[in-house]
Amino acid sequence: MRLTPEDLERLIKLLGDELELYEQIRSLTLKQSKLLSGDDINAFNNSLDIRETLIEKIKGLHRESDPLMQSYVSYSTGSNDSNIKIEDLKNQIREVIGICAGFNDENITAIKSMTEEHVKKIDKQSAKRKGIGGYAQAVPNTPEVFDRKS
């Protein structure tokens, strides 16, 4: 199916909307690294929920734009204004996705490091608790000991 000028304009609009959503994801992913460095896990989790919502919106745009994009790829010829805009938007989207992937990798590394630190802290606390537990077993804790008056 050849694209009409209206189809091309619709595709440009959809790609522009997609780029805007990816820009929001990029901003959110950068914010997530700040939240991680501030150890604000609740805000980080909330930002992941927001990011999931943005991804769902992008999926919706894809469902509409995929048939148009397939036709565009099959029948695009020359370098008219619409083709230039479409190619420019596609390149910008690829660039933002690459940046997001880089930030995301950094965030994953940071969260793994934080998780390992928390696991170590829990292990240390468990070891201390076991030590205290051994001491507590040596101290009699029967009611008679506590009820006796000195």
Is 127 within the bounds of a domain? Answer: no
Is 121 within the bounds of a domain? Answer: no
Is 10 within the bounds of a domain? Answer: yes
Does residue 141 carry a pLDDT above 80? Answer: no
Report the predicted TM-score, pTM, of the whole model to 2 decimal places.
0.73
| Residue 37: Cβ-neighbour burial (10 angstroms; 0-12, 13-18, 19+) | exposed
Is 22 within the bounds of a domain? Answer: yes
Per-residue pLDDT tens for 68-119? 998 888 877 666 888 899 999 999 999 999 999 999 999 999 888 888 887 8
Is 150 within the bounds of a domain? Answer: no
Instruction: Please give the residue range of the domain that contains residue 20.
Output: 5-110
Looking at the structure of the chain, the number of domains it has is 1
CA dihedral for 111, 114, 119, 120, sign (positive or negative): positive
Is 29 within the bounds of a domain? Answer: yes
Is 42 within the bounds of a domain? Answer: yes
Contact between 29 and 97 under an 8 Å Cβ cutoff? The reply is no
